[in-house]
A = this chain, B = another copy of it.
Amino acid sequence: MDERTLRTLLEQMQRGEMRVEEALAALRRLPFEDLGFARLDTHRGLRAGFPEVVYCEGKRPEQAAAMIARLAEGPGPVLGTRAVFEVYARVRAAMPAARYSDVARMVIVEREPLPKRPGTVLVICAGTADLPVAEEAALTAEVMGNHVERLVDVGVAGLHRLLAHVEQVQRATVLVVVAGMEGALPSVVGGLVRRPLIAVPTSVGYGASFGGLAALLAMLNSCAPGVTVVNIDNGFGAGYAASMINALAAEGQ
């Protein structure tokens, strides 16, 4: 029940077109859910720029494409994550403006890109095999209206590559650090910055990496304070959280 309906009802009452009992009955039927919806949903207006997301893995391409198309009727950007090319092909047929990232395996549909807020989200990535997850984080943050920088292939076993970029690292507003195998990079980067750092373990590795468990546990046990962690391979979640934080930085309370 939106406010207009409510106002109409009240005006009808005032004009004597509706009796108290009728109004009471109407209000009694006043769907809890709608009031609840309204109230809970006050933050929906605030969600401008927050993308709708379709997790495409395990869905058939036509299903995934249909879901993306339906969501794209709304005003905000739509992301299709873990999408094979065929999903994109089907989306593009209907919406030629759709984009596809081969690396991140993402389909992106946006009416027009959001203006970029100040601040920088820096996405750092240990090895080239971690790129799909890193790029998923980077694109998510970009679509949500952030400047994104990328720093690739700066694994901890070659510190000089990371140290060569220490100023860029320390300049970032929020950091997303992506690593598989032993997952040590967030700890090392976390020791160099005083900004929020979101660690993303990846399933890159074999044997005792146990599908990313080794990196996940390492990140949860990081000795660098202030490091927080998302699920294995969850580049989308990290980009989303980074954007939330950067928005705070740009817009204040």
Using a CB–CB distance below 8 Å, which chain A residues touch chain B? Answer: 3, 6-7, 10-11, 13-14, 16, 19-20, 23-24, 27-28, 30-43, 46-47, 50, 53, 55, 57-59, 118-119, 126-127, 129, 155-160, 163-167, 170, 173-174, 181-184, 187-188, 190-196, 198, 201, 203, 205-234, 236-238, 240-241, 244-245, 248-250, 252-253
Contacts and interface: CB of A to CB of B under 8 A. Distances in A.
B215 A248 contact: no
Contact of A182 (B53, B187, B230, B248): B187
Contact of A13 (B7, B13, B157): B13
A207 B232 contact: yes
Nearest to A53: B225
B224 A220 contact: no
A11 B20 CA distance: 6
Nearest to A201: B207
A155 B225 CA distance: 12
Nearest to A19: B14
Number of copies: 8
Nearest to A22: B10
A247 B114 CA distance: 25
B229 A220 contact: yes
A217 B217 contact: yes
A237 B208 contact: no
B225 A221 contact: no
B223 A127 contact: yes
A155 B221 CA distance: 13
A140 B45 CA distance: 33
A209 B236 CA distance: 16
Given A156-B191, A164-B33, A253-B119, A236 B232 contact: no
A249 B38 CA distance: 27
Contacts of A249: 248-249, 252-253
For the complex of A and B, 5 pairs with smallest distance between CB atoms: A33-B164, A207-B232, A184-B184, A157-B191, A228-B228
